[in-house]
Chain A
Amino acid sequence: MDVINYIIKRILQMIPVFIIVTIVIFFMIRMIPGDPAAVMLGSKASPEAIASMREKMGLNQPMWTQFLIFLKDLFHFDLGTSVKYNQSVSSLVASRFLVTAALTAVSTVFSVIISFILGYVGGMKKDKWQDQIIRFASLFGLSAPTFWIGLLLLTVFAVNLHLFPVSGWGDTPLDHIRGLILPGITQALGVSAVMIRNLRNNVIEIKGSDYVEFAKSKGLKNSVISSRHILRNALIPTTTLLALKIAYMLGGSVVIESVFSLPGLGALLVNSINARDYAVVQGVVLTFVIMVMVINLLTDIIYSILDPRVKLS
């Protein structure tokens, strides 16, 4: 069927991108100054100790040799081993992937709830008091730094009210969800402001369009007009924006995971860059690339579902 063919075609298109990114990252990270052996052993290590460690880590081999070894391993689906954690990169990434994916999912759910509802209400009640409040709130959300909002939420809901943990991933699935609520809301607030405005403007534009006027004059019920005509049409550009924002949230996970102590890919990436753990940096970047490409693919498919005029090609 069309959709399946389209998906296969897109996946095939991803492969060259994947390869190029791999090569670029491999060389880029190794060209940055900084010696993984020195970082690992700390400042009290003697130059001999560091030289010894470099030898052991295979860092003294020429760059091309290291690249060929890397390619050979990649062929066997081996992403290498982390020097810091003594674990295969694939198992390391797999264990952290869940956290970041869950965080992004929770943030997406919250941003959808917040922005779709507020954007729609703001648009329908243009210039009335509801709209004024929503516009003010979204402007505030846009200007205030995300981590500051996060700290506020933490102080009120975690420290004072004890409703959620201050940080941490926890041990049980229930703990996991509880631990994701505050970071999820924090990320969602940062992203929602733009989406609220976008949806609101779309709703206003559509409300004033010809076919809505015509629908009203036909005598259709308001609720039918809202759902079938206004909402569905207004959501199309907003959904595209949402996809962009999700990719943005993946990047933002680096900060959020540090503040809320979530053991996810973002935190792993930062730690690995600081430690110059080359294999892990490559593995995490590749994972992010795949996640963004998958999200784009899903967005295009949803777009084609929402807007029957669009054909997947």
Chain B
Amino acid sequence: MKRRWMAAALAAVLSMSVLSGCSGSGSGTSASTAASGETSAVSETQKDVAAVTAGEDAKIADEIDIARAGSVTTLDPVLLSYTPDIQIVNMICEELVTTNDDGTEIVPGLAQTWDVSDDGLTYTFHIIPDLKFSDGTDVTGDDWKFSFERAMTTEESPWAFAAANIASVDTPDDDTVVITLKEQAANTLSNLSCFSVALQSKAQYEATNSYADAGSYPIGTGSYAVSEWVQDDHITLTANPNFHGDAPKTATIKFQTVTDDNSRMMMLKAGEVDIVTDLPYSSMEEINNTDGLTAVGLPSTSNKYIILNETSNEALASKEVRQALLYATDKQTIVDMVLYGYGEPAVSFMPKNGLYWNDTIEPVSYDVNKAKELLADAGYADGFDLEVLVPSGNETYSQIATILKDMWAQIGVNLTITSMDQAALYDDEYAMKHEMVFGSWSDDIADPSQLGAYWWDFDASQCFFTGYQNSDAEEIFQKSQTEMDDSAREQLYDQLQQIFYDDVVAINMYHAEATVAMSDSIQGYVQTPLYAYRFDNMIKVEE
């Protein structure tokens, strides 16, 4: 008898420990600590982490270690696609012009000044004289021509938009670059700030068999250069000895790849790395409550959408039905539960604080009754079935899907969640076989035309895989591409944002902040909303 009781007690204890073990895995999305929109009182802001307070003679470290979730797959500026690649290329290569740290304006890059012809078709850029690449070789006109040619002629490039409007590139001398456009465009300078048209050494390209050799990388003029790259493990950058500006304060920056969220956090806590990116929102508070560590949310250009495919589900083809879903979505709750307050509900499809972002559109309120009314009017009083495809392993999307399932059940919409591997999901998405997926966007240039083209040029993505076609909207967008007057262009984008919201082309869920955690010894951390690193002034103060 006694043995039976003991066995039962043992079983109970073990099952509890197993269950607690299950929730401790993955990216730690434990729902129990959902903050109600407040961030910890000790959390710092973007300005705090960017500030450098240490004196000139403070002792600083030679190397700063950063752990990221993703690894670099390629550093070819024309063919790369993922954020870890883009971040490195942005540090080692530079463009004619670039954006300021806020991501709001175009400022001189390698070009100190430029002249625009009266017809707006010819831009003459005056380059910093005596420019050298990081390997000491001189920059010549050939290097500029080659860099642009690659961007202009590589069909497979996801960044073809940046060079699409360039008719020709001439270099009358090594310090002058003349770009002739096909037609006038307001986004010319923004496109020229894209990493795909960054200056690269032609000699390096040829020496690496057109970047086809394993582990090959471009040689640029950036403040840092690649010194070591072990695929899937780490990439180390060291200060460029031939940099044309002030040398960066920290000699070496090492980016390590640590895919597991928990491992990344532990490395920070153990002091093995100094900075950690891609921190899960649920861990922000824990880091802020740890002595010596800080977690901050930074402005970003990210948008998350609920993509409803009008062509595969009859109900979704009706505007009233989509509006009903909008009314039935409590965006603030999603922001609280998924982002732990590090973001805000979105009304516009464009990034927050980006150029022409319209924050005056009146959002509808969360209203379940109104939603039911709209559904009934559209002929779906009993609701309907809907399937959402979620990439497996993506905790955020799984969480959002689960929340939406609950919310939409209240109006009779039965949402089933299907998990699929990412590549298979892309297949279905491109073939428009999905009913609903989640969409994500962040800008690569400081101009809404990149995002605009993705939404409003139907061939680009079938309106972000919604199948929504509106020739008026498409015309408005085409007009905005050649409109040179700033306020006129702004009005065109206002119209697009209003049409988008009224027709519920997609449901704009939220603008999220980018998260980063670092040791308190780090100062001068700067990251633009376009997710580019500006680490020239970053230091690690040693006690």
Binding site for B on A (CB under 8 A): 32-50, 52-53, 56, 84-87, 91, 136, 139-140, 143-145, 147-148, 151, 154-155, 158-159, 162, 165-169, 258-261, 263, 267-268, 271, 274-276
CA distance A139 to B155 in the complex (A): 59
A42-B158, A48-B155 known; A166+B421 contact, CB < 8 A: no
- B247-264: which have CB < 8 Å to A? 256-260, 262-263
Please determine whether A165 and B272 come into contact, CB atoms closer than 8 angstroms. yes
Q: Is B459 an interface residue (CB 8 A)?
A: yes
Please determine whether B263 and A85 come into contact, CB atoms closer than 8 angstroms. no
Chain A residues in 8 Å Cβ range of B232: 263, 267-268, 271
Q: Is B213 an interface residue (CB 8 A)?
A: yes
Please determine whether A261 and B423 come into contact, CB atoms closer than 8 angstroms. no
CA distance A35 to B424 in the complex (A): 8
Give min CB distance, B110 to chain A, whole Å: 25
- B265-296: which have CB < 8 Å to A? 266-267, 269-272
Q: Which has the most chain B C-beta neighbours within 10 Å: A46, A144, A159, A276?
A: A46
Please determine whether B267 and A33 come into contact, CB atoms closer than 8 angstroms. no
Q: Nearest residue in B to A158 (C-beta to C-beta)?
A: B270
CA distance A22 to B224 in the complex (A): 44
Q: What DSSP secondary structure best describes chain A's contact surface? A: helix
Please determine whether B17 and A159 come into contact, CB atoms closer than 8 angstroms. no
* Among all A-B residue pairs, the 9 with the closest Cβ atoms: A34-B423, A42-B81, A148-B21, A45-B158, A87-B214, A52-B155, A53-B156, A33-B424, A166-B267
Q: Which has the most chain B C-beta neighbours within 10 Å: A34, A36, A87, A165?
A: A34
Chain B residues in 8 Å Cβ range of A91: 214
Chain A residues in 8 Å Cβ range of B156: 37, 41, 45, 49-50, 52-53, 56
Chain A residues in 8 Å Cβ range of B82: 42
Q: Nearest residue in A to B83 (C-beta to C-beta)?
A: A42
Q: Nearest residue in B to A276 (C-beta to C-beta)?
A: B423
- B31-66: which have CB < 8 Å to A? none
Q: Nearest residue in A to B260 (C-beta to C-beta)?
A: A259
Please determine whether A44 and B25 come into contact, CB atoms closer than 8 angstroms. no
Please determine whether B158 and A49 come into contact, CB atoms closer than 8 angstroms. yes
- B4-42: which have CB < 8 Å to A? 10, 14, 17-18, 21-22, 24-25
Give min CB distance, A49 to chain B, whole Å: 5
Q: Which has the most chain B C-beta neighbours within 10 Å: A37, A44, A151, A275?
A: A44
Chain B residues in 8 Å Cβ range of A162: 270-271
CA distance A148 to B214 in the complex (A): 36
CA distance A267 to B231 in the complex (A): 12
Q: Nearest residue in A to B230 (C-beta to C-beta)?
A: A263
Q: Is B454 an interface residue (CB 8 A)?
A: yes
Give min CB distance, B510 to chain A, whole Å: 19
Q: Is B212 an interface residue (CB 8 A)?
A: yes
CA distance A274 to B82 in the complex (A): 14
Please determine whether A35 and B423 come into contact, CB atoms closer than 8 angstroms. yes
Besides A34-B422, A42-B81, 10 other A-B contacts (C-beta < 8 A):
A33-B424, A35-B430, A40-B81, A44-B158, A49-B158, A151-B24, A165-B270, A166-B272, A169-B233, A263-B233
Please determine whether A158 and B266 come into contact, CB atoms closer than 8 angstroms. yes
Give min CB distance, A133 to chain B, whole Å: 13
Q: Nearest residue in B to A45 (C-beta to C-beta)?
A: B158
Please determine whether B426 and A46 come into contact, CB atoms closer than 8 angstroms. no
Please determine whether A47 and B266 come into contact, CB atoms closer than 8 angstroms. no
CA distance A39 to B82 in the complex (A): 10
Chain B residues in 8 Å Cβ range of A87: 214-215, 231
CA distance A46 to B214 in the complex (A): 26
Q: Is B73 an interface residue (CB 8 A)?
A: yes
Please determine whether A140 and B263 come into contact, CB atoms closer than 8 angstroms. no
Give min CB distance, B143 to chain A, whole Å: 23
Binding site for A on B (CB under 8 A): 10, 14, 17-18, 21-22, 24-25, 73-74, 79, 81-82, 155-160, 212-216, 230-233, 256-260, 262-263, 266-267, 269-272, 421-424, 426-428, 430, 440, 444, 454, 459-461
CA distance A143 to B271 in the complex (A): 32
Please determine whether A167 and B427 come into contact, CB atoms closer than 8 angstroms. no
Q: Give which listed residue, A33, A39, A46, A258, contacts B460 with CB less than 8 A.
A: A46
A34-B421, A145-B25 known; A258+B270 contact, CB < 8 A: no
Please determine whether A33 and B428 come into contact, CB atoms closer than 8 angstroms. yes
A-B contact count (CB 8 A): 156
A43-B426, A53-B156 known; A167+B212 contact, CB < 8 A: no
Please determine whether A154 and B266 come into contact, CB atoms closer than 8 angstroms. yes
CA distance A169 to B230 in the complex (A): 11
Chain A residues in 8 Å Cβ range of B428: 33
CA distance A48 to B160 in the complex (A): 11
Please determine whether A49 and B160 come into contact, CB atoms closer than 8 angstroms. yes
Give min CB distance, B286 to chain A, whole Å: 13
Chain B residues in 8 Å Cβ range of A43: 426, 440
CA distance A37 to B263 in the complex (A): 31
A145-B25, A158-B270 known; A86+B423 contact, CB < 8 A: no
Q: Nearest residue in B to A168 (C-beta to C-beta)?
A: B256
Give min CB distance, B75 to chain A, whole Å: 11
Please determine whether A159 and B270 come into contact, CB atoms closer than 8 angstroms. yes
Give min CB distance, B153 to chain A, whole Å: 11
Please determine whether B270 and A166 come into contact, CB atoms closer than 8 angstroms. yes
A84-B73, A139-B14, A144-B21 known; A274+B422 contact, CB < 8 A: yes
Q: Nearest residue in A to B442 (C-beta to C-beta)?
A: A44
Chain A residues in 8 Å Cβ range of B440: 43
A47-B459, A86-B213 known; A258+B259 contact, CB < 8 A: yes
Q: Nearest residue in A to B24 (C-beta to C-beta)?
A: A148
CA distance A230 to B372 in the complex (A): 76
Please determine whether B270 and A144 come into contact, CB atoms closer than 8 angstroms. no
Give min CB distance, A209 to chain B, whole Å: 28
Give min CB distance, B255 to chain A, whole Å: 13
Chain B residues in 8 Å Cβ range of A267: 232, 259
CA distance A243 to B214 in the complex (A): 37
Q: Nearest residue in A to B14 (C-beta to C-beta)?
A: A143
Q: Nearest residue in A to B74 (C-beta to C-beta)?
A: A86
A48-B155, A53-B156, A148-B24 known; A34+B14 contact, CB < 8 A: no
Please determine whether A35 and B426 come into contact, CB atoms closer than 8 angstroms. yes
Q: Which has the most chain A C-beta neighbours within 10 Å: B18, B267, B271, B423?
A: B423
Please determine whether A140 and B14 come into contact, CB atoms closer than 8 angstroms. yes
Please determine whether B22 and A166 come into contact, CB atoms closer than 8 angstroms. no
Give min CB distance, B128 to chain A, whole Å: 31
Chain A residues in 8 Å Cβ range of B422: 34, 39, 274
Please determine whether B272 and A151 come into contact, CB atoms closer than 8 angstroms. no
Please determine whether B430 and A38 come into contact, CB atoms closer than 8 angstroms. yes
Please determine whether A145 and B22 come into contact, CB atoms closer than 8 angstroms. yes
Please determine whether B427 and A38 come into contact, CB atoms closer than 8 angstroms. yes
Please determine whether B427 and A34 come into contact, CB atoms closer than 8 angstroms. yes
Q: Which has the most chain A C-beta neighbours within 10 Å: B17, B212, B233?
A: B233
A151-B24, A168-B258, A261-B258 known; A34+B158 contact, CB < 8 A: no
CA distance A48 to B267 in the complex (A): 42
Q: Give which listed residue, A35, A49, A158, A261, contacts B259 with CB less than 8 A.
A: A261
Q: Give which listed residue, A33, A46, A148, A154, contacts B427 with CB less than 8 A.
A: A33
Please determine whether B272 and A39 come into contact, CB atoms closer than 8 angstroms. no
Give min CB distance, A119 to chain B, whole Å: 21
Q: Give which listed residue, A86, A139, A154, A261, contacts B214 with CB less than 8 A.
A: A86
Q: Nearest residue in B to A142 (C-beta to C-beta)?
A: B14
Give min CB distance, A117 to chain B, whole Å: 23
Chain B residues in 8 Å Cβ range of A52: 155-156
Q: Nearest residue in B to A96 (C-beta to C-beta)?
A: B232
Q: Give me 25 A-to-B residue pairs in the complex whose CB atoms sit less than 8 angstroms apart, sorted by A's number.
A: A33-B428, A34-B421, A34-B426, A39-B426, A41-B81, A41-B156, A43-B426, A44-B159, A47-B459, A49-B155, A85-B73, A85-B214, A87-B231, A136-B10, A145-B22, A145-B25, A148-B21, A148-B22, A151-B24, A158-B270, A165-B272, A167-B263, A261-B256, A267-B232, A276-B423
